[in-house]
Homo-oligomer: A and B are copies of this chain.
C-alpha cells in the first residue's frame, strides 16, 4: 500500500523508514471504479489524490453541458481541485476515474499537519507544485501559440501512454477541440 507514493517521494526527498511510517499514518488508501467520482462540482475538495494505479481526469462542465478536461492523472501523478482544497470553497471541477483505480489520499488536516511538522513534506509539496506549474505553463503556451496539429503531435510525443489508454474524445476535450475536429486533424496528419 502507498508503494508508488513513497517511491515518488523518495526520488524527490529521501526519507528514513521511520519518517515513512510517520507519514503513512496520515495516508488513506481508496479504490475507485471506472466512472466513479472522487469529487463533484459544488462539493468542497477534501483530498489530494495520488494515483497508485489507474487513470483519472478532472474537468469542468460549461453552460451548454460540454465537458472540458483540465487534467489527466495516471500512475505517479497527483490530482485535486487545489483551489477548493486550499480555500474550502465549493469545487469548480469534477474528478472521476477513467479506469478502475487505486489512490493514496491526503486529507486537508493531514496535509496541514504534515506541512507544519515535517519539513521534508513541505519540500516534497513544493517540488510537486513547481513541476505541475512548469508543465501547465508549457501547455498554456502551446494552446495560445501552436496549431492544433502541432499540439496533437506534441501531446502524442509527451504522453504516448495517455493516448493509448484514454478515448480520443477526451484527448480532444483536453486540447480544447471537438471530437470531430480532432478526428479530422488526425486524418490530415496520416498523409505525412
A189 interface residue (CB < 8 Å to B): no
Copy tally for this chain in the complex stands at: 2
A185 interface residue (CB < 8 Å to B): no
Task: For A143, give its contact among B122, B138, B140 (CB under 8 Å).
Answer: B140
User: Given A126-B122, A132-B133, do A144 and B143 touch, yes or no (CB 8 Å)?
Assistant: yes
Residues of B contacting A167 in the complex (Cβ-Cβ under 8 angstroms): none
**B126 x A68 contact (CB < 8 A):** no
In the complex, what distance in Å separates the CA atom of A59 from the CA atom of B17?
Answer: 45
In the complex, what distance in Å separates the CA atom of A140 from the CA atom of B132?
Answer: 13
The listed residue with most B CB atoms (<10 A of its CB), out of A92, A134, A176, is A134
In the complex, what distance in Å separates the CA atom of A176 from the CA atom of B139?
Answer: 13
**B144 x A176 contact (CB < 8 A):** yes
Task: For A134, give its contact among B86, B125, B137 (CB under 8 Å).
Answer: B86
A70 interface residue (CB < 8 Å to B): yes
Residues of B contacting A130 in the complex (Cβ-Cβ under 8 angstroms): 82, 86, 129
